[in-house]
Amino acid sequence: MELAILQAILVGFVLVLVIEFVYRGNAQQGTPQAKTKRSGQGRTCRPDCPACQSEGYEIERRSRPGPRQKKKSGRPRRVNTDWHFCPDQSCSHYGWVGLGNIIANGHPNGGHWRQLHCTACRGYFAETVGTIFYRSPLPPEKLCQIIQGLAEGWNLHSIARVLKVEPDTVKACLVRAAEHMEAVSSYLIRDLHLSQVQVDELWALVQSWGQDEDARTEPKTRRRQGWVWAGIDPDSKLLLATVVGGRSLAYAQLLIHAIMLTLAPGLVPLFLSDQLAAYETAIVTHFGHWVEVPRRSKYGPAPKPRWKPLPELNYAQVVKRRVRGRVVEVTQRVVFGSTETITAILSHAGHKINTAFIERVNLTLRAHIPALGRKVLSFAKTILGLTQQVSLTRTYYNFCLPHLSLRLQLPEPLPTKGNGSPKLWQSRTPAMTAGITDHVWTMQELLLFRVPPWSQEVSG
């Protein structure tokens, strides 16, 4: 009798353990994170960002030497070399601009490019060192025509036929130019003081993802699917950042991370987007902080801190309701912040909650990138090729392309050559409006810009 009672007790104890194990397994396989994502309790962990995880490598920044004294005797210098730096890493002035150690030394053998001289290390180098023109077999004029044709939206094979070069030559120019343009944009577009940012994504036709294929994408949709993510400052029309890839949270994180790098430290602008849920998570990831949760009871472990959006963060969405592919209703939804605060921010520029400016930029991208055009044959072959075209167009749009809505009326009309009408307006680019530069850049000037190895004060 006692043996039977002991066996019953053991069987009951084993059943209790099995039920508890199954219950915990089902609880872990459930979706409690989805419930806390929309709740006001915050998150127990910061969402992952691929760009934040890959950071950590920084170029060693040398101490800034004193400026060189200018010679009082002799002919005054007329060539501006403030943007050039010595490329010799053994030089004490390596990487620093505006120190007066670089002077022009004429054109050797009557060549096209100027020779520069560093008075610190007494070395000589061409002004094209570190640019696409350095040791290029193509003439500078034709190289500029190829890249400007790509930036204006010409087809790769059309440029090859018009300029009488090989298509592979045009493609090689695109690869080098895109790498240079991305470096120029990353260096010049930074420390911005913005009041609002609009973000959106643009669908693109891609033949194949190639080696950068997203493993989370279904096999049937891996081909012919691509998205161009973009962010813009509605006031200056400056295209802040672009990302090319899939329509997932990872690429939304990359876009918001790239936008965050262009802002001044500690600045939290107003974000406006469509109803895509990935934007909310990406914005909270980069504009959030840990909040300590007070204890509700003196028993048990202390509650974990929660990752919540910053108190000064404001974010609103434009929600569009479609019926059979057509927009029939547009509403606004405030996600973070208050309606009064967002209205006050937008009232200074006469705006309201919308994504009209970023959608207008989508049209500009479609006009300047053949792969983004509708019902065309020049679609993108790979994601990498589309990324290169977007990088080239972004820098060309910001620095070389005057924007009609940004022009300023001249105080007095300027006469033009011949019998033409006088000039009434001053053309301005988004980079001029944002205070990055003071003139419209030419394509040759943009390609000749030598990016220093570390960030420094920029002007003009």
CB 451 within 8 A of CB 458: no
What does the pLDDT look like over 251-301, one tens digit per residue?
999 999 999 999 999 999 999 999 999 999 999 999 999 998 888 888 888
Q: Give the integer Cα–Cα distance in Å for 91 and 72.
A: 25
Cα–Cα distance between 267 and 194 in angstroms, integer?
Answer: 8
pLDDT at position 46, please?
84
> Which segments within 284-374 are labelled E, that is strand?
288-291, 306-309, 314-323, 326-336
DSSP string, 215-249: TTS-GGGSTT-EEEEEEEETTTTEEEEEEEE-SSH
- Show me where the domains of the chain are located: 94-127, 133-189+382-410+423-451, 194-290+304-376
- Report the C-alpha gap between 202 and 405 in whole angstroms: 23
Cα distance between residue 277 and residue 317, in whole Å: 10
Q: Is the separation of the CB atoms in 282 and 249 below 8 Å?
A: yes
Question: Are 201 and 210 within 8 A, CB to CB?
Answer: no
pLDDT at 369: 93
d(CA 394, CA 254): 16
Decide: 157 and 140 in contact? Cβ < 8 Å: no
Residue with tokens 């300590």, as numbered in its chain: 292
Q: Which one-letter DSSP state was computed for residue 63?
A: P
Mark out the alpha helices in 95-166 (DSSP H runs): 140-151, 156-163
d(CA 194, CA 189): 12
Overall residue count recorded for the chain in this entry? 460
**pTM of the complete model:** 0.84
Tell me the pLDDT tens digit for each residue of 168-214: 999 999 999 999 999 999 999 999 999 999 999 999 888 776 554 45
Q: What is the pLDDT of residue 265?
A: 92
Residues of the chain with pLDDT below 50 are 22-39, 212-213, 215-218, 220-221, 458-460
Token pair for residue 342? 């967002």
Residue type, 300: G
Asked if 254 contacts 50 with a C-beta cutoff of 8 angstroms, the reply is yes
pLDDT (0 to 100) of residue 36: 33
Side-chain half-sphere CA neighbours of 56 within 13 A: 4
Q: What are phi and psi of 144, to 5 degrees?
A: -65, -40
